[in-house]
Amino acid sequence: MELKLNFIEFAARFDKIIRKQILKLHPTVPIFLYSYSRKLFLKAFETNLNFEQTTPPEHLRQTLWDIEFRSPIFNAAGMFKKGAGYETVYKQGAGAFLAGTTTSKPRSGNIKKGILHPFIPYAETESASNWMGLPNEGHSTVAKRLSRIEKQKGCPIGASIAADVGVNETEIIAGILEGFELYDRAGVDFIELNESCPNVAHHSTTQNIIDSDISSRLAIISEKFLKKRKRNLPVIVKFSNDIEIETIPSLIDLLIELGYDGINIGNTSTKYDYYRQFVSSDDIKNYDYFTATFDGGLSGKLLRANSFEKSKYAAEYISRKNLSKEFYVVRTGGVSSAIDIIQSQQSGVNLLQWFSAYFENFSKYGYSLYAELYRWL
């Protein structure tokens, strides 16, 4: 067992050493290598428990929606696709566990040029691109898996739900509602409705989000599920980092009116031309190839300023409304350090999710990455 632990941490640290050299090869080579090796790494990573446990500092503990979070930061939905890994992140010291996004029907995800779930890191830019296409086993399978978890104090379980693709709106609604019911019965503590994924056709980024079909869908879910909840089960809606900042007040007003409990800003970005100016010259060849060949979503430090600006704006708007109910902001995108957490909380953002920076920190600190983060908090 000790050998397994050493191998996982060694693999991450060794990759950090050789990554820049691998990325100098023709883009097809690192894309192939990282798309497949990361699956093997995650499978071993999420089941390993042979490492020292980290307990977050007591002052980080907070109660939101009558749910105790022992820390404000935890994994984003893209990390644990099958809903496994709760025991691992709890022992690491995470503030919660969020299972990977599921749809009603299982999805194999995207494949192109013989590569399943294309992915590539940008080493100097500390960011990444992926075009996974929501691979998942379906609501039912993951809900059953989550129902068997023995929950620990201060580390609640969240589920992430998305619409099915390639079906009519009636089937979309039915699939989403099925997910809510299954995760409710599974005993999860909160649910995130994912309206942000750029890697499937139905979830293409829209700037004028209030005028889209999403509004009517949110209203139906409110009537069919939110207003009929029989227990405390907060529902947060996740939108892309690409939403226009001017739409945020109207979006928040709509969510509050319909009975939702929070907003997550956001997910990955597809504004390739805009972010290209911030990409390191060492990464630009791979960046251009991946975005031109696969599209996909950008994640990591490239999104830090944008996600902070919009999350802060949302929190400030909510604070001026003097609400009688709890409604919180979750920030996702570019979260990578204790400074991000401190600045976000000072701006009124309550919870944060990380993904790309999680693995960057793991390559430096291994299973002690949360302990290292908390040293500065």
Mean pLDDT of the chain: 93
Q: Which domains does the chain have, with CATH numbers?
A: 2-375 (3.20.20.70)
Give residue 294's pLDDT.
Answer: 96
**Distance set, CA 58 to CA 94, 95, 234, 368 (Å):** 13, 12, 24, 18
User: Residue 1 pLDDT > 60, yes or no?
Assistant: no
Confidence of residue 192 (pLDDT cuts 50, 70, 90): very high
Q: What are 12's two structure tokens?
A: 């991450």
pLDDT digits (tens, 9 = 90+) for 106-152: 999 999 999 999 999 999 999 999 999 999 999 999 999 999 999 99
pLDDT of residue 41: 87
pLDDT at residue 47 in the model: 82
Confidence of residue 277 (pLDDT cuts 50, 70, 90): very high
pLDDT for position 347:
97
Reply yes or no on whether the pLDDT at 213 is more than 60. yes
CB contact at 8 A, 212 and 250? no
pLDDT score, position 198: 61
pLDDT at 196: 83
HSE-up of residue 13 (Cα within 13 Å, Cβ side): 11
Residue with tokens 């099915």: 164
Examine the pLDDT at 211 and tell me if it is beyond 70: no
Classify residue 163 as left (phi > 0), alpha (psi -120 to 50) or beta: beta
CA-based nearest residue to 259, from 223, 295, 216, 287 = 223
Helix, strand, coil percentages (3-state) for the chain, rounded to 5, are 45, 15, 40
Under a CB-based contact definition with an 8 Å cutoff, are residues 86 and 49 in contact? no
Tokens of 212: 């889209």
The pLDDT tens digits of the residues spanning 45-72 come to: 888 888 999 999 999 999 999 999 999 9
CA 367: distance to chain centroid? 19
For residue 354, the cross-strand partners are 75
Q: Which residue has the higher pLDDT, 204 or 9?
A: 9
Tokens of 191: 């649910």
